[in-house]
Amino acid sequence: MKKELSPELKAVEKYGSDRTCLIPILHEVQKEYRYLPEKALRNIASMLDISLVDVYGVATYFRSFSLEPKGKHTVTCCMGTACHVRNSPGVLEEAKRTLGIDAGETTEDMLFSLETVNCLGACALGPIMVVDGEYHGEVTPAKVKKIIGKVKHQEGRD
């Protein structure tokens, strides 16, 4: 029986063991685990022959990386100025109510994580909510329930 390679070893094999490959390796590993576990970071540091402090430095510097487990689905609310004046705070409040979590948290069932960003660069469509990379423009609090409800339905959790 062939042993399955760890996500970090697969990523290093894919991108190479040069320290300049650290960021794509971290992205690849996070895609697999939905966060960056300590053991994986230790393995990466060893495979790239760089200090664990340097790996943690990169992993904590960029907001796209997480050291905490994330949900299967990510809901992101834009809180930039253009979205804010079009009621993104109301959209965020409804997302928090619908999911039962605050921004920066993950539901107990590990299905959803809720995040905020300062700008998504789609200001004309604000307020913007992104679910798993899919942009939803001109979102209202009522639309939040429908958007999240659709994902829950697809997961058989409605």
How many domains does the structure of the chain reveal? 2
Distance CA 124, CA 78 (A): 12
pTM value? 0.78
> Is residue 45 a contact partner of residue 30, using CB atoms and an 8 Å limit?
no
Confidence at residue 108, expressed as pLDDT on a 0 to 100 scale: 95
Assess if residue 57 is contained within a domain: yes
**Do 50 and 18 fall into the same domain?**
yes
**Do 110 and 52 fall into the same domain?**
no
For residue range 68-90, list pLDDT tens digits in order: 999 999 999 999 999 999 999 99
Of 61, 87, 106, the residue that ends a domain is 61
Closest CA to 55 of 29, 86, 91: 29
Confidence at residue 4, expressed as pLDDT on a 0 to 100 scale: 83
For residue range 84-119, list pLDDT tens digits in order: 999 999 999 999 999 999 999 999 999 999 999 999
pLDDT at 62 over 70: yes
Q: In sequence order, which residues have a C-beta less than 8 Å from that of residue 25 and are 6 or more positions away?
A: 8, 11, 12, 15, 44, 48
Assess if residue 108 is contained within a domain: yes
Question: Residue 9 forms beta bridges with which residues?
Answer: none
Question: What average pLDDT does the segment 52-66 reach?
Answer: 93
Domain of residue 31 covers 7-61
For residue range 11-47, list pLDDT tens digits in order: 999 999 999 999 999 999 999 999 999 999 999 999 9
